[in-house]
Amino acid sequence: MNLRIPGPTTVPAEVAQAGAAEMINHRGPEFAAMIARTTEGVKKVYQTSNDVETLTASGSGAMESAVVNFTAPGMHSLVVSIGNFGERFQDLVGIYGGVLVKQEYKGGQAADLNKIEEALKADPEIRTVFITHNETSTGVTNPILPDLAALVHAHDALLVVDAISSLSSVEVKTDEWDLDVVLSGSQKGWMVAPGLAFVSVNERAWARADETASKQPRFYFDLRRHQKSLETGQTPWTPAVSLFFQLDKALQMMEAEGLENIFARHHKIGSMVRDGIRGMGLELVADEGVESDTVTAFWLPEGVNGSEVTKIARDKYNTVFAGGQGNLRGKIMRFGHLGAMNEADIQAGLDALKNAFADAGYKK
């Protein structure tokens, strides 16, 4: 089955196989060497010299870790939401007692720096800004991160970036852009099975974590505990060792391909998907200029049932596409194009999509 969803992505055979290696002691020297190596590798992809913690959890666990380490009850947080995963940050801030300042954009729009500045000026108590870099639910990449970081820091606030479905596929310059906290997840461009999540933390963010330590309960996702354990080559809780084996291998493959080539490949296949879908007479959800290079969302034309298309694509063309999430359910479809994927894979995916649409009665 060909996965053309925005994660989990195809795990290359070498990576899958690496995960089947003989189990090791997570408190022994082999694991210590491995986590040192994978952490260095992940930091290269993050383009950072900040600390990076690897959690045994999915991306949502990394999102929770950002909220419980960097906010406290009563603290104001601005959540800039351009879709479903922005809404997840809204939920989290509310659940963990924060004062939520919402800023929402319609499906397909990117965030507007000026409006964020207005929000920061309107509420000087905002201490943290949360933003989704690449919104998986709409296929939009927010292009404003470097300017946003400068703006947020000018207001003495902390910037948390959910880059779960972008980092490792499209460029995120953590240090050059001065991003305080950046999240990612193994099942996206990293080409690893789901179950590991990454969180980078700079000095500004560590200071915040120490400030909130006595105010916000946390344990499993306590990043200081992870950082202290990592210094001894361990994790505080038993890690998903077999996924570390996979990550170790996947990072070697990424190193061999080279970051610039990976980003160029994703841009190329992203363009192919957009051209192909537009060529079918379909309209993208994303506004022009902010389309994602990892996932493309497109509107279902009148008379075409998305569930029927995905079922036909699956059963007849061996290809899995995603439907819409939240209030876009039933209105859109999504084509994931990240991770271990080349132009031939994309062409096959587009062919499957075209055929499934035709079978479902669609005429351009």
The site for a second copy, by CB under 8 A, has a size of 56
Smallest gap, in angstroms, from Cβ of residue 21 to a second copy?
A: 8
The edge-to-edge listing of strands for the beta sheet with 196-201 is: 51-56, 196-201, 181-185, 158-162, 126-132, 76-81, 99-104
Give the list of residues 6+ apart from residue 223 with CB closer than 8 angstroms, or none.
53, 65, 69, 199, 201, 209
Smallest gap, in angstroms, from Cβ of residue 114 to a second copy?
A: 32
- Please identify which residue in 78, 79, 92, 333 interacts with a second copy, judged by CB under 8 A: 92
* Beta bridge mates, 181: 160, 201
| Interaction of residue 272 with a second copy, rule CB under 8 A | no
Which tokens in the block code for residue 317? 């063309």
Across the chain, how many H-helices and E-strands are there?
A: 12, 14
Find, among 81, 110, 106, the residue nearest to 93 by Cα.
81
Smallest gap, in angstroms, from Cβ of residue 236 to a second copy?
A: 8
> Cβ closer to a second copy: 21 or 122?
21
CA distances from 109 to 134, 275, 292, 319, 332 (A): 12, 19, 12, 28, 15
Smallest gap, in angstroms, from Cβ of residue 38 to a second copy?
A: 15
* Beta bridge mates, 12: none
Smallest gap, in angstroms, from Cβ of residue 157 to a second copy?
A: 22
| Interaction of residue 72 with a second copy, rule CB under 8 A | no
- Please identify which residue in 241, 284, 350, 352 interacts with a second copy, judged by CB under 8 A: 241
Smallest gap, in angstroms, from Cβ of residue 320 to a second copy?
A: 5
Pairing assessment for the beta strands 181-185 and 158-162 based on DSSP bridges: parallel
> Cβ closer to a second copy: 19 or 139?
19
| Interaction of residue 329 with a second copy, rule CB under 8 A | no
| Residues in touch with a second copy (CB under 8 A) | 1, 3, 5, 7-11, 13, 16-17, 19-28, 30, 56-61, 64, 91-92, 95-97, 185, 187, 193-195, 217-221, 236-243, 246, 314, 320, 322
